[in-house]
């Protein structure tokens, strides 16, 4: 089942990691719907504070300038609230690893190989690629071992790690459930 668009309350209450773009989109959607009771306005306020900490004031202002409901959002943000209602939101903002980011990592990696290399991946990436999981990860977990053709490309792997915040790692297949080979899917 693909990851569905998040609503503001789902992001705030149900997710350990919150992608900043998803949060911004959810704030705009909440305002667009007009569902703005006190707790929702407080959540929007705390979400904007979290985005400002994560993105910085300049990027948040650029987002607001593009938002059709910017005046309502600014009014909610500048209003006085007697409490911080969602304090953990600030530390749960994390840039999500997106499927396209992983695919581009693989494309660039493939451009530097002399012949095709087969990789079987597991872990979070195996669920992120088809859109079944939305979260942050730094590892592309390869089953058994990273092929020597890739392992020896130290400079390339270092450059890709910086560009995509992803690196190749490995784990042994004996940690996988019996019959895992029948559940493989190709990109």
What are the residue boundaries of the structural domains of the chain, listed by start? 8-92, 99-183
What gap in Å lies between CA 173 and CA 165, rounded to an integer?
25
Q: Which DSSP string do the residues of 71-123 spell out, in sequence order?
A: HHHHHHHHS--SS-S-TTHHHHB-PPPPHHHHHHHHHHHHTT-SS-----EEH
H or E segment at 171? Answer: strand 167-171
- Residue 169: strand pairing partners: 141
Average pLDDT, 10 consecutive residues per value, the chain (187 residues): 66 91 95 94 97 97 96 96 92 93 94 89 92 90 91 93 94 88 77
pTM of the model: 0.73
Question: Given this model, what pLDDT does residue 48 score?
Answer: 97
What gap in Å lies between CA 52 and CA 67, rounded to an integer?
15
Question: Given this model, what pLDDT does residue 125 score?
Answer: 94
Q: What is the CA radius of gyration of the chain?
A: 20
Which CATH fold topology does 99-183 show? Answer: Beta Polymerase; domain 2 (3.30.460)
Task: Report the Cα 143 to chain-centroid distance in Å.
Answer: 23
């Amino acid at each position: 089942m693909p990851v569905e668009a998040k609503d503001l309350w789902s992001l705030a209450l149900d997710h350990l990691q919150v992608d900043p773009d998803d949060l911004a989109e959810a704030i705009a959607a909440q305002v667009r719907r007009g569902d703005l009771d006190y707790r929702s306005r407080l959540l929007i306020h705390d979400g904007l504070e979290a985005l400002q900490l994560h993105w910085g004031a300049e990027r948040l202002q650029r987002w607001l300038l593009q938002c059709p409901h910017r005046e309502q959002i600014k009014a909610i943000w500048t209003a006085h609230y007697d409490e911080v209602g969602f304090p953990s939101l600030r530390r749960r903002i994390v840039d999500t690893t997106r499927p396209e980011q992983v695919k581009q990592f693989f494309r660039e990696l493939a451009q530097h190989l002399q012949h095709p290399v087969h990789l079987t991946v597991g872990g979070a990436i195996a669920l992120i690629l088809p859109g079944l999981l939305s979260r942050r990860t730094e590892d592309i977990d390869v089953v058994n071992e990273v092929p020597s053709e890739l392992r020896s490309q130290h400079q390339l792997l270092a450059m890709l790690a910086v560009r995509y915040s992803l690196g190749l790692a490995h784990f042994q297949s004996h940690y996988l459930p019996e019959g895992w080979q029948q559940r493989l899917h190709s990109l």
